Structure 1
């Protein structure tokens, strides 16, 4: 148990999870979670191995071999997913969150600050009411906080390009700021003095292949092309096909593990907020003590994100808190 989290607080948090609607139909996972938390609370976390859990929770015999029988590993994966589901919806206001890190079964506890939680939720609700997503042109964030993306349609009225552009602009859950579309050969870097985190997506149709939409993303400050792909006519018969291609492009290029963030990290131009989001995302997917420590260190650089010892795991909430800090 982490310093500052008393036993009753953990017990109350566990009870709320076990009696939730999310866990109502998962008797085995309730038993799994209850066992590992109670063992850790009485100082027996070192005994939480696959063999012990297989016997005491899932009633396997003494001949149970967790090396050949993946039962405990599979159930632990299901438990992590169900906990994430609970805290993303029914338990979104929980002051203490129970996590099972990858690679082990000893639970860890994340304590959120009620002040920052409610402030961030209020800000996030306001932004969503205004029709914006994670960042979506939050003007109070400095130009160097998040990557700014301009879509430049150079296709002179191509239908595929227009649908692709509108679909990209409709992507809400990408931690970048989408600039108003540009036409012709205007460059974002020509209009802003600080182009370090400015990227451009070019949509082109060339005479040599007029049925093909050429899509590229570049970093004007360095002249680097991050990616280049084509959308052909047989892949774009329907607007929904084009929208799907735009969604897949956004997932590959504009998300935290995507091209823009990776390029920024490798070129050492990522902002403190970007590094904070990356560290938090890494903790979400790895669930290790090392990832937790790194996420906490990054978040503690922002006064509005500090908690007593835990971390905030929701990316939209972190962006809302960065908004509050500006």
Structure 2
């Protein structure tokens, strides 16, 4: 079975080294030798497989030339410099590095770097290079319907088709309009007891979010060809009980890796620290403002329900008139007035429409 974009499956070391080199040579970082050294040290240590050694103490000694008596707990030097490094990286990616496809981050609460795709930039770059994107069918433009016409009505009357219609032109079922991203958790790559607290922490954190679905059933290799465009795999792995935990998020159909993060071996022995690591992974990937929704939107995989959730979420952020009309438009198109009598700011009300659609089908 052919797996498209096989050469983009992993974020390889050469790509990370190239990205690091561009950051270190940038104008924004040229003014701070200390922060260049800080970033170079943690990335190179992680790439050498020594993530468990990236601690405040080693950074204080190896980067900032403190002596052996340095106490990272009482001396805030490394924490302060890490905050400056995070801000400088944000400035770089907002300016010189805004078109970078791969981004290096230093997560809050730790110093082990993470690597993630800037999905929009990644797609734009490879589209310009003439490379195929990892979706299997061309997507039609958003259906043209008058505001106030529910999607269900438009499809039943044949006046329009959803933006993600199958290639044969047939209208998608109602359930497809309300489909949400499904994340398949795969902990088969870890044999010790650290997988369970990670999975449970992901479930607890994701349970507070609207707009995704979790399942503990991993996608088997034989099923990848039939995977839905909104299927994703979150895998957790470690070569043995003394090695760091590695979490990876992949798009199931293309095997494109969207996100990876490492929890060093020292922290990965404590259940609360494993839970904190899981919370970081969820925060980066699963909210409406996270990587999964960005990826789906860039590829045209977003469903009517996803678009409605995003528009309503944006209204909740700033309560502007423009955001209200956008959210109201999507809500009116999504559901008949008998199911959604008026405008709502409650995302749970919108997700509940998924069950109504299933009953009406």
TM-score of the pair, normalised by structure 1 = 0.51
2:216 aligns with one of 176, 180, 183: 180
Please list the CA deviations of residues 89-112 of structure 1 after superposition, one character each: whole Å capped at 9, or x if unmatched: xxxxxxxxxxxxxxxxxxxxxxxx
Structure 1 partner of 2:233: 200
Deviation digits for residues 134-158 of structure 1, max 9, x if unmatched? xxxxxx9559610011011132422
Matches of 1:155 and 1:273, distance apart in 2: 33
- Taking a change above 3 Å as real, the CA distance of residues 307 and 179 of structure 1, as seen in their structure-2 partners, is closer
1:224 shift after superposition: 1.4
Which whole-Å CA distance do the structure 2 matches of 1:176 and 1:308 have between them? 21
Residue number among 184, 206, 212 corresponding to 2:244 in the alignment: 212
1:217 counterpart SS class: strand
1:152 partner SS: strand
Provide the C-alpha distance between the structure 1 equivalents of 2:270 and 2:237, rounded to a whole number of angstroms.
19
Cα distance in 1 between the residues matched to 2:356 and 2:339: 15
Q: 1:144 to 1:308 in 2, by over 3 A?
A: closer
User: Which secondary structure state, in structure 1, belongs to the residue aligned with residue 185 of structure 2?
Assistant: strand
In the other structure, the counterpart of 2:187 is 153
1:215 and 1:230 in contact (8 A); partners too: yes
Q: Per-residue deviation at 1:195?
A: 1.5
**1:39-188 matches, cutoff 5 A:** 142=176, 145-170=179-204, 171-174=206-209, 175-182=211-218, 186-187=220-221
C-alpha contact (below 8 Å) 1:203/1:215 kept by paired residues: yes
What residue number does 2:261 align with? Answer: 229
SS of 1:206's equivalent in the other structure is: coil
C-alpha distance after superposition, 1:102-133 (max 9, x if no partner):
xxxxxxxxxxxxxxxxxxxxxxxxxxxxxxxx
Change (3 A) 1:308 1:162: closer
Is 1:251 matched up with 2:283? yes
Instruction: Provide the aligned length of Structure 1 versus Structure 2.
Output: 183
Shift of 1:238: 1.8
* Local SS of the residue matching 1:283: helix
In the alignment, the residues of structure 1 paired with residue 229 and residue 195 of structure 2 have an alpha-carbon distance, to the nearest angstrom, of 26
Matches within 5 A, 1:10-29: none
1:226 and 1:272 mapped to 2: Cα distance?
23
CA contact (8 A) 1:147 1:198 kept: yes
Stretches of structure 1 lacking an aligned partner (at least 5 in a row) = 1-139
State the match for 1:238 in structure 2.
270
- Give the TM-score, by structure 2 length: 0.46
Task: Work out whether residues 308 and 334 of structure 2, in 8 Å CA contact, stay in contact via their aligned partners in 1.
Answer: no
Structure 1 202/287 Cα, relative in aligned 2: closer, same or farther at 3 Å?
same
**Runs of 4+ residues over 6 Å off in structure 1:** 306-309
